[in-house]
């Protein structure tokens, strides 16, 4: 098998004395979609935040695209990288948040071009042209000049996805991208994500949308209490869960 896009080994993370991730092992192959489900507080968001080093880890190791995340290894010790190096690595990983987190003082277009111009040093004209292509792709070409407060939740989330894609990432992390949306707006965001998966983007998706996991996901893990309880192909796990915890969770979500 080729080198996976994401390789996680023995990942541990605590907040204070509370251990939130208790040894996670995971591989995400390039071009595949990994779905993560699990009850509230099981550590799903924390896992995603560790992958782009928004959170420091307390044990284990992670590689994205073959590169160790957040640390440099020397003589059997891990040294935390300076902020500048970490930022460089984050620029190659896109992240989409439950609460969108668009920059409210910028228009949709400005939200998208900000990082390409400031981080990648793209010429503004080029960044703008690429942003318009992305807005087209998420179906919002006509809302380029709108501020986030003038957009619906579904539109904001689609702009947020375009903003992440503008950095041309090799990996996209989605943390419950549709959980804050009104039910009738969920579909438009999932459609954009489905198209993205079809282009071969490597994606890790925390979601409660089981039909999305079933149709788009290549792998699925069920997390509880900071551990991966069960993993497999989404169809198998969702249809025939082996673990009682998974069964109990699925019966509550469905």
Binding positions for other proteins, rule: CB under 8 A: 52, 54, 83-84, 87-95, 97, 99, 101-107, 114-115, 118-119, 147-149, 160, 163-164, 167
Residues contacting 12, CB < 8 A, separation 6+: 19, 21, 22, 23, 24, 57, 58, 59, 60
Is there binding between residue 107 and ligand ATP (CB under 6 A)?
Answer: no
Question: Contact, 222 vs 237, CB < 8 A?
Answer: yes
Least distance CB 228 / Mg ion (angstroms): 16
For residues 23 and 128, give the distance between their C-alpha atoms in angstroms, rounded to a whole number: 43
Find which of Mg ion, other proteins, ligand ATP, none residue 15 binds, CB within 5 to 8 Å per kind: ligand ATP
56 binds, among ligand ATP, other proteins, Mg ion, none (CB under 5 to 8 A by kind): none
State the minimum distance, in angstroms, from the CB of residue 110 to other proteins. 9
Q: Which does 46 bind (CB under 5 to 8 A by kind): Mg ion, other proteins, ligand ATP, none?
A: ligand ATP
Residues 6 or more apart in contact with residue 34 via CB below 8 angstroms: 6, 26, 28, 203, 204, 205, 217, 218, 219, 220, 221
Taking the C-alpha atoms of residue 247 and residue 64, their distance in angstroms, rounded to an integer, is 31
Site residues for ligand ATP, window 32-91 (CB under 6 A)?
Answer: 38, 40-46
Say if CB 30 and CB 4 are below 8 A apart.
Answer: yes
Q: Which is nearer to Mg ion, 28 or 36 (CB)?
A: 36
Contacted by 246, from ligand ATP, Mg ion, other proteins, none: CB < 5 to 8 Å by type: none
Residue reference for tokens 């998208």: 112
The residue number whose beta carbon is nearest to Mg ion equals 45
Chain positions 19 to 38 lying near ligand ATP, rule: CB under 6 A, are 20, 38
Cβ-contact 195, 219 below 8 angstroms: no
What residues have CB less than 8 Å from 150, skipping those under 6 apart? 143
Contact partner at residue 92 from Mg ion, ligand ATP, other proteins, none, CB < 5 to 8 Å by partner kind:
other proteins
DSSP 8-class letter at 107: -
Cα distance between residue 228 and residue 25, in whole Å: 8
Question: By CB under 6 A, is residue 177 in contact with ligand ATP?
Answer: no
Residue whose CB is less far from other proteins, 41 or 104: 104
Binding-site ranges for ligand ATP (CB under 6 A): 15, 20, 38, 40-46
């Amino acid at each position: 098998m080729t080198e996976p896009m994401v390789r996680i080994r023995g990942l541990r993370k605590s907040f204070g004395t509370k251990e939130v991730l208790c040894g996670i092992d995971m591989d995400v192959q390039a071009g595949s979609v990994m779905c993560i489900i699990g009850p509230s507080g099981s550590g799903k968001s924390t896992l995603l935040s560790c992958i782009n080093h928004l959170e420091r880890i307390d044990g284990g190791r992670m590689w994205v695209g073959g590169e160790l995340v957040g640390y440099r290894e020397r003589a059997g010790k891990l040294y935390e990288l300076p902020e500048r190096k970490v930022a460089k690595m984050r620029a190659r990983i896109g992240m989409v948040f439950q609460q969108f987190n668009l920059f409210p003082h910028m228009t949709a277009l400005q939200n998208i071009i900000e990082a390409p111009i400031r981080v990648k040093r793209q010429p503004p004209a080029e960044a703008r042209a690429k942003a318009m292509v992305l807005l087209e792709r998420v179906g919002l070409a006509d809302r380029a000049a709108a501020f986030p407060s003038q957009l619906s939740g579904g539109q904001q989330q689609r702009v947020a996805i375009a903003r992440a894609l503008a950095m041309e990432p090799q990996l996209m992390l989605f943390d419950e991208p549709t959980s804050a949306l009104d039910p009738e707006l969920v579909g438009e965001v999932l459609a954009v994500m489905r198209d993205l998966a079809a282009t071969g983007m490597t994606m890790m998706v925390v979601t409660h949308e089981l039909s999305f996991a079933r149709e788009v996901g290549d792998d699925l893990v069920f997390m509880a209490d900071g551990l991966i309880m069960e993993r497999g192909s989404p169809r198998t796990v969702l249809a025939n869960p082996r673990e009682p915890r998974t069964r109990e969770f699925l019966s509550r979500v469905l």
